[in-house]
Amino acid sequence: MEKKLFCFWTGLNPMPRNRFNALKSMENSGLNVVFIDSNNIQKWILPDHPLNPAYEYLCAIHRADYLRVYFMHHYGGGYCDIKYINKSWLESYQKLIDSEKMCVGYREVSPLQVARVRSWIYPFILWNWRKLLGNCAYIFKPNSAMTSLWLHRTEELLNKKYQCLKINPAKIPEEYKGKLVNGKPSNYPLRWSELLGDIFHPLCLEFSEYLLYELPTPDYISDYDK
């Protein structure tokens, strides 16, 4: 597994200054930062596993949600939202390599951050929130049982929503179902956490014995839109 740290900018909107500064700070991880955008994404897409057809209709946030799953399964290595990283990830990377675990991340910060999964399992996930990983950053071994199931469930959801997405594609980078767009509730068919947290947090419980919780937490508090 190469010491790569993947990050994505999937929209055509310009990157705000604070976000750009955060991108530069990701070198502090000690990993080789790989910045993926619309100009270079195709060279990373595998011929025998093209992007899901629904990808072109997703909002920028959900595209990034999908891509992290795709890359963590097929390539492994690190992923981080474009946020400030102030500490090295090398020790965490090595601990993962030296173990039988599948992933190292940071422990979810509070019950308030737990994805509101629309299922009977939600109270159980909420009760066990300390076993969950946060969604902003992690390092995965590629082709693991966890990433395989993660990608399968993600693709399954996109296939299910494909026709609705085609009819109601995203119009803004941070669109989600019901969000006001031009003064009207959006018909875009995906809820905010439906493509990532709603799938990832239940998986964390399923695979909790294969997780490490020692990755330094990135700065998720700063205002990145300035």
Q: Name the domain count of the chain.
A: 1
Report yes or no on 221 lying in a domain: no
Mean pLDDT (the chain) is 95
Report yes or no on 225 lying in a domain: no
Report yes or no on 134 lying in a domain: yes
Average pLDDT over residues 61-66: 97
Summarised one tens digit per residue, pLDDT across range 82-100 is 999 999 999 999 999 999 9
Q: How confident is the model at residue 13 (pLDDT cuts 50, 70, 90)?
A: confident
Average pLDDT over residues 67-77: 98
Q: Does pLDDT of 60 surpass 80? A: yes
Report yes or no on 41 lying in a domain: yes
Q: Are 105 and 72 in contact (CB under 8 A)?
A: no
For 160, the token pair is: 């299910």
Report yes or no on 22 lying in a domain: yes
Q: Does pLDDT of 111 surpass 80? A: yes
CA distance 146 to 207: 7
| Whole-structure pTM value | 0.95
Range of the domain at 147: 4-212
Average pLDDT over residues 199-222: 94
Q: Please, how many CA atoms are within 13 Å of residue 44, restricted to the half-sphere of its CB?
A: 20
Report yes or no on 222 lying in a domain: no
User: Which of helix, strand or coil describes residue 216?
Assistant: coil
- Tell me the pairing of strands 77-80 and 4-9: parallel
Share of the chain above pLDDT 70, in %: 100
What confidence score (pLDDT) does residue 161 get?
A: 98
Summarised one tens digit per residue, pLDDT across range 126-176 is 999 999 999 999 999 999 999 999 999 999 999 999 999 999 999 999 999
What is each CA distance from 128 to 64, 83, 110, 160, 206, in whole angstroms?
26, 26, 11, 29, 11
Average pLDDT over residues 3-11: 95
Q: How confident is the model at residue 196 (pLDDT cuts 50, 70, 90)?
A: very high
Q: Does pLDDT of 226 surpass 80? A: no
Report yes or no on 58 lying in a domain: yes
Report yes or no on 226 lying in a domain: no
